[in-house]
Amino acid sequence: MKKLKTRIIVDSTADLVPEIKARVYTVPLTVHFGQEEYIDGVTIDHRTFYEKLVESDVMPTTSQATPDAFIKEFEKARQAGESAVVITLASKFSGTYQSAMIAAADYENIYVVDGTSAAMGTGILVELAFRLLDAGMSAEEIAQALEEEKKKIVVVALVDTLEYLKRGGRISKTAAFAGGVLNIKPVISVTDGEIHLLGKARGSKMGNNLLVQEIDKAGGIDFSRPVLLGYSGISDALLLKYIEDSRHIWEGKLKEIRYTTIGSVIGTHAGPGAVVVAFFKNQYNAEQNSSD
């Protein structure tokens, strides 16, 4: 039996570098500012979104991708005689994974993976999927591998405020209040589809140090896998400052530090001024350290 060609399908909350973005098929979520509806990444770009977020009195809301939107993409794959691996944001954050599962029920050779992350976290899982695809794996093999690999993904972020996460119902009011004190930068992590408040830092320098500590706590970064940084808002100044403050982590490990912006759906919950690091944790660090 001839091996089917495989396409990778994602939802629009996966933040990707341009060369990966050019290869995926995207199912968009929707962002609403009051009565105005925008298709994430299609009828609103990142910059316009953050301008509106800062200027608007209305807090935007987001809607999951529908089964119909996935069916459209699955139909295209079937017409092309291709199989597909579908990677969605965490099912704990959105019904998008459920929509993909409902849509996939009528199709063969479609494998849906709950990415258990968001933004850059999904982005690095997608990137890994392409590495496996380019290495000759079938859709089914890729999906199986991703189920294991996704457990190693860590996303740590320094957010400017917890206000947006609170309004979006993603964290409790008490956690948000604790972060709301003057110039306190909350540090959060996303692991296995859960948002955890890790600590609070006064000012961004201390926040950057906290981010570095969290990376160490996770056992360090597996540099043989994709690493991606990100920021929300219009300017990348805070992210560049973070890269400067944490230069010892990257130097000699990465040819270049790649970063991208957080899209409008996740940006609705993170708010502007966030700095994000997504990586696969180094599972073997302890063993390696003892054998070095």
What is the residue-level pLDDT of the chain in tens, covering all 292 positions?
567 899 999 999 999 999 999 999 999 999 999 999 999 999 999 999 999 998 988 889 999 999 999 999 999 999 999 999 999 999 999 999 999 999 999 999 999 999 999 999 999 999 999 999 999 999 999 999 999 999 999 999 998 877 777 776 666 666 655 555 556 788 888 888 888 888 888 877 888 888 888 888 888 999 999 999 999 999 999 999 999 989 989 999 999 999 999 999 999 988 999 999 999 998 765 344 434 4
Check: CB of residue 65 under 8 Å from CB of residue 97. no
**pTM of the complete model:** 0.92
Amino acid (one-letter) located at 177: F
**Which residue ranges form the domains of the chain, and what is each CATH number?**
5-151 (3.40.50.10170), 152-291 (3.30.1180.10)
Check: CB of residue 9 under 8 Å from CB of residue 86. yes
- Using the structure block, give the residue that is written with the tokens 């917890």: 162
Alpha carbons 194 and 170: distance in angstroms, whole number? 9
Please count the other Cβ atoms lying within 10 Å of the Cβ belonging to residue 164. 23
Q: Which residues pair with 278 in a beta bridge?
A: 155, 228
Among 278, 159, 276, 154, CA closest to 219: 154
Amino acid (one-letter) located at 188: I
Alpha carbons 165 and 159: distance in angstroms, whole number? 10
Check: CB of residue 157 under 8 Å from CB of residue 277. yes
Among 226, 194, 207, 203, CA closest to 157: 207
**In this structure, what token pair is assigned to residue 83?**
């199989």
Q: Is 157 helix (H, G, I), strand (E, B) or coil?
A: strand
Alpha carbons 75 and 213: distance in angstroms, whole number? 46
The contacts of residue 266 (CB under 8 Å, 6+ apart) are 13, 15, 89, 118, 119, 232
